[in-house]
Structure 1
Amino acid sequence: MRRTGVPYAFLAPALVLFAAFLAAPIGYSIYLSLRRVKVSGLGLGRGARTEVWAGLGNYTRSLSDAEFLPSVVRVGAYGLVVVPVMLGLALLMALLLDAGRTRVGTFARTSIFLPYAIPAVIASLLWGFLYLPRVSPIVDALQGAGIQPPDALSSSWVLYAVANIAIWGGTGFNMIVLYTALRAIPTEMVEASRLDGASDVQIAWRIKIPIITPSLIMTFVFSLIATLQVFAEPMTLRPLSNTISTTWTPLMKVYRDAFTRNDIYSAAATSVIIAVATFAISFGFLRLVGTRAFGQEN
């Protein structure tokens, strides 16, 4: 009895924390998404506002909101920019570091990873002031060279301005993951390829990248989830530009409904929709490519 109970004793703190800070909030959000406030009379006095069952009404209202679909499309366009560029840069940097093209490997890895250690709000404020024409040293330098830069916070460029912050901050983390996977490749395999006359590009394309495909899939899923939940960057940049609305992303719409309109029931329904969509897309992608990739690894 004592021997069989030891594993559960070690798991108990993690299970309690999981239940208290993850499972319980999720369950409460689902509960709120199925409720609504019923107002009687003028809504004044005790008992004038009561919480009643709403069924799927909040979900219908969220999905039919005219501002919800544009925010989803905007996040989709944002993801098409962020995910390929960020993972491409991370893979390129990891391959260059693994190939030994730089003699300052530790310094290079730390420099590339450092932006990830900066909180998203701080990074957004930093880049926000670099985007503002009146205070940006980059704009001053370009204008001094006779180049008129575009307004990064204009309606035509704001999507790329937000994407740039995410790429700058996330490339280092993905690079470390891919670099760690590259370091696990047996050196004998690489040396044998060199003896056969393979170049660095051929080794990277035909040996290294296929072997680290599971790590690429993992970083892609993490990046996809982060893209669908983008919030801090546009929310921080919003006071600096009128091109970012309160519903620029779905999570910003959740924030507006919950804390500006005081409609926590609609906000909870939208949150559940985002969570289900994130799970479905991530799980669907893993089902599509994960089995073959991880099967090849085994």
Structure 2
Amino acid sequence: MTPSPTPTGTLRPASRRGRRAGVPYAFLAPALVLFAAFLAAPIGYAGYLSLRRVRVSGLGLGVGSRTEVWAGLDNYARSLTDPEFLPSIYRIGAYGLIVVPTMLGVALLMALLLDAGRTRVGTFARTAIFLPYAVPAVIASLLWGFLYLPRVSPAADVLERVGLSMPDLFAGPSVLWAVANIAVWGGTGFNMIVIYTALRTIPTSLVEAARLDGASDVQIAWRVKIPMVLPSLIMTFVFSLIATLQVFAEPMTLRPLSNTISSTWTPLMKVYRDAFTRNDVHSAAATSVVIALATLAVSLGFLRLVGARAFNQED
């Protein structure tokens, strides 16, 4: 028996399924195009530049006197053996030891206080704590920089009235704490919002059950709330770790105000110096690739270390 033809104006089931299967890709296409154009392509180009170098013939003034040739891993070797690279890594490590625990600790404390209902002005408190995050890093660094200068800081006048002198926060090791303070002031609000949002998803029945068992607010926070928001804490830790390895705006903005912040104070500042001061984009590309790989390795290593416990994953 011959099958009846499909009525005009209707789609065959296979064709209809094919069109439905293509809908998700149509929605993803703009994001994929932007990702490829503004993230994947620059990363690939940086990797390409890191494997090249400029060969200069003669005085380098004539046509064709500068040619780009294959360098292999020479740029990476120069980057890793640069005497100014390791000190910048040490400084960023000390900076991270100050910023990350302090910022996340304060954010967690603020989120727990807001969630516990100890503040009657919850909306105002959340906005006030989050507001510094909305201030661009350059503007925040300029504001804090002038607050650090004894000659123009209002804090110096207040201390002088009580017979004290304002310390020079740009001298010696103090500059590390001065830069770290800006990061803590600006990043605490974002992390607080993330943790507070996770706290609001905890079922109230768990908190009430703990309270009926005689648990205090501190015990509820330590034994119920913090374990429940551990994934959010890990996420904020990873974000803070990545931001620490990529710190640039704060020390770069404060550099004209201080003689203790060098042009290679952080690894990214070294990349900026090599690319735009020394015009050595190939060495800068190699250093940036090293920083990117180190960031990826540290982030994935930390997630692998704590992911099974925090996210209930199994190997």
Q: Could you say which TM-score interval applies, normalised by the shorter chain?
A: over 0.9
1:3-152 to structure 2, matched below 5 A, reads 3-152=20-169
Residue 259 (structure 2) pairs with residue 242 (structure 1): yes
Q: Secondary structure at the match of 1:295?
A: coil
Q: Which of residues 152, 158, 165 in structure 1 aligns to 2:175?
A: 158
- Quote the Cα distance in structure 2 between the aligned partners of 1:237 and 1:275: 24
Secondary structure at the counterpart of residue 312 of structure 2: helix
TM-superposition CA deviations, 1:15-73 (whole Å, max 9, x none): 00000000000000000000000011121211100000000000000000000000000
Which residue number in structure 1 is paired with residue 9 of structure 2? Answer: none
**Equivalence for 1:178:** 195
Counterpart among 214, 229, 232 of residue 212 in structure 1: 229
Q: 1:253 aligns with which of 245, 270, 294?
A: 270
Distance 2:143 2:127 in 1: 20
Superposed CA offset, 1:121-150 (max 9, x none): 000000000000000001211121122231
1:198 maps to: 215
- 3-state SS of paired residue (1:50): strand
- State which structure, 1 or 2, has the greater radius of gyration over its C-alpha atoms: 2
Q: Secondary structure at the match of 2:67?
A: strand
Residue 260 of structure 1 and its aligned partner are, at CA, apart by 0.3
Amino acid at match of 1:127: W
Matched AA of 1:167 = V
Q: What amino acid sits opposite 1:245 in the alignment?
A: S
Q: TM-score, normalised by structure 2?
A: 0.93
1:3, distance to aligned residue in structure 2 (A): 1.6
Is residue 2:241 matched to residue 1:224?
A: yes
Give the total of aligned pairs: 297
- Give the counterpart letter for 1:78 in structure 2: Y
Name the aligned partner's letter for residue 116 of structure 1: Y
Give the Cα separation in 1 of the matches to 2:225 and 2:219: 9
| Inter-partner Cα distance in structure 1 for 2:57 and 2:192 | 58
Q: In the alignment, residue 71 of structure 1 is paired with which amino acid?
A: S
Partner Cα distance (2:235, 2:146) in 1: 33
Pick from 267, 278, 288 the counterpart of residue 284 of structure 2.
267
Q: Which residue type is aligned with residue 146 of structure 1?
A: G
**CA shift at 1:156, angstroms?**
2.3
1:14 Cα offset (Å): 0.5
Q: Which moved more, 1:6-15 or 1:220-229?
A: 6-15
- For residue 297 of structure 2, what is the amino acid of its counterpart? A
The 10-residue stretch of structure 1 (135-144 or 55-64) with the greater mean CA deviation from structure 2? 135-144
Structure 2 residue matching 1:270: 3-state secondary structure: helix
Query: Aligned AA for 1:225?
Result: I
Deviation at 1:291, TM superposition (A): 1.6
2: CA distance, partners of 1:47 / 1:105: 67
SS of the equivalent of 1:37 reads strand
Give the alignment's Cα RMSD to 1 decimal: 1.0
Structure 1 Cα separation of the partners of residues 157 and 303 of structure 2: 46
Which structure 1 residue ranges, 5 or more long, are not aligned? none
Counterpart-to-counterpart distance in 1, 2:109 and 2:308:
25
Q: Secondary structure at the match of 2:165?
A: coil
> How much does 1:202 deviate?
0.3
